[in-house]
Amino acid sequence: MRGEKDYCVIVITGPDLINTLRNPRFRRFFSAQTQQQINIGLTITKMAAEDATSGDGFQVINEVIKQCLGRDEGWKSYYADQMDEAPADHPDERVLYVLELERKAEESYRRGDVAKAVACLQTILNKHLTGADASERGWYLQEMARLRYASDKAESNAMQVAAHRQNQLLLKPRHGMVVTKLAINQSQAEAARRWLAAFAHHTDCRIRVDELLNNLTFGTKADKFEKALHDLGELLGFSSARPDKQWGAGPDNLWGVGENEYVLIECKNEVKEDRNEIHKAETGQMNNALAWFDREYHTMQVTPLMVIPTKNVAKEAGFSKEVGVVRKGSLKKLRENVRSYLNSFKEHDLQSLTDRQVFAALETHKLTKEAVKAEYREAVYQR
């Protein structure tokens, strides 16, 4: 707001935005006052939801909004008390040091001192990102490759290779990139349990899953859809990758569902829903993805699926292997089963679940590897 005497109500909707505000990874970037306001909003929302169990939810929310905008004395007192409990803001010294080094790196580069610019970023890696995830470290390596490019292209490419190893969603190096096979290091039940245990509360988990499933619909932009499919694979306890985005070749999505067993997925979710045929270019894309799989994974088993509204293959088109399609009804069924699976843990402590409990839920809701390979696919019809 412009000042202390300004006031308003902000209504935040949409699972993606709500998930961002609830995520501790992002919350830490807000001021202490903003974080406290978010906490107040979450508390009020919970109370409103409890009050609305037997009434009109919109009416309950409307009354809450009126209390604020009407300057209700009870509301003002509650808000003041809550904000008084907000901790004092303390600057994140690590972030300040990192920003200062980034500035020095860019200034050095502009002066033509590439070595000093690269040294500044190396200092960030060595001193300030020791606990950071690989994706962030990869980004700084890519920045170092950018700085090196004009003076030493070979060294720049070597740095980009190192960056891409850390984060495969970065730019691809000109040469030297080695495809890393999708590893399967744990059982489906164990991996799925670990995914659930990452959430402190069932509500946080539900909001994350709502965001994911909302993007898993026909008409969603390809990148969002493929990212949602990638995340769904991890939610279900599978190893998950996006080879085309990570390596510039292969299928849109790849799930490792068991020892030497994979599900390969090509996504055509942006095509018109009244489409009547699978076109020649689309079968060709699937055939290329299967050829890539044979080259990289050799004799391992693969179940190829194409997400598309139709199962009719055009006369001039054809698949090199038996391919199943996932149409609108099957995709809806998959989303519903995932929601039911999650709801089965509503009264449980997510950190205390056992592998056996999780596997039983996966089996009940048709989300095991056997079900995924058979339950949601339809055979194609060759015209």
Q: How do the domains of the chain map onto residue ranges?
A: 15-84, 93-166, 188-382
Name the average pLDDT for the chain.
91
- Looking at per-residue confidence, does 329 or 128 come out higher? 329
Percent of the chain with pLDDT over 70: 98
- Comparison of pLDDT for 52 and 309, the residue scoring more: 309
pLDDT at residue number 45: 81
Alpha-carbon distance of 134 to 328, in angstroms, equals 36
Q: Calculate mean pLDDT across residues 223-249.
A: 96
- Name the residue among 107, 172, 112, 106 with its Cα closest to residue 138: 172
Which residues are CB-contacts of 14 (< 8 A; sequence separation ≥ 6)? none
pLDDT of 216 reads 95
Nearest to 41 by CA among 72, 25, 65, 58: 65
Other residues' Cβ atoms within 10 Å of the Cβ of residue 342: 20
Place of tokens 């979450």: 42
pLDDT in tens, 193-235: 999 999 988 988 998 999 999 999 999 999 999 999 999 999 9
pLDDT digits (tens, 9 = 90+) for 317-370: 999 999 999 999 999 999 999 999 999 999 999 999 999 999 999 999 999 999
By C-alpha distance, which of 318, 260, 333, 263 is closest to 286? Answer: 318
Measured N-to-C along each axis, helices 222-235 and 188-197 cross at an angle, to the nearest 10 degrees, of 110
CA angle, residues 335, 185, 303, in degrees to nearest 5:
50
Which alpha helices (DSSP H) does 5-56 contain, by range?
Answer: 15-22, 24-27, 32-51
Of the candidate ranges 55-59, 157-161, 306-310, 361-365, the one whose mean pLDDT is the lowest: 55-59
Confidence of residue 1 (pLDDT cuts 50, 70, 90): low
β-bridge pairing 312-313 and 239-241: unpaired
Mean pLDDT, range 22-44, rounded to an integer: 85
Cα maximum dimension of the chain: 73
pTM of the model as a whole: 0.83
Please name which of 320, 241, 242 lies closest in space to residue 288, comparing C-alpha atoms. 320
Q: Is the pLDDT of residue 131 over 80?
A: no
Give the residue with greater pLDDT, 93 vs 307.
307
pLDDT of amino acid 54:
62
Q: Say what percent of the chain tops pLDDT 90.
A: 66
Domain 188-382, what fold? Restriction Endonuclease (3.40.91)
Cα–Cα distance measured from residue 128 to residue 113, given in angstroms and rounded to the nearest whole number: 22
Q: In whole angstroms, what separates CA 84 from the centre of its chain?
A: 36
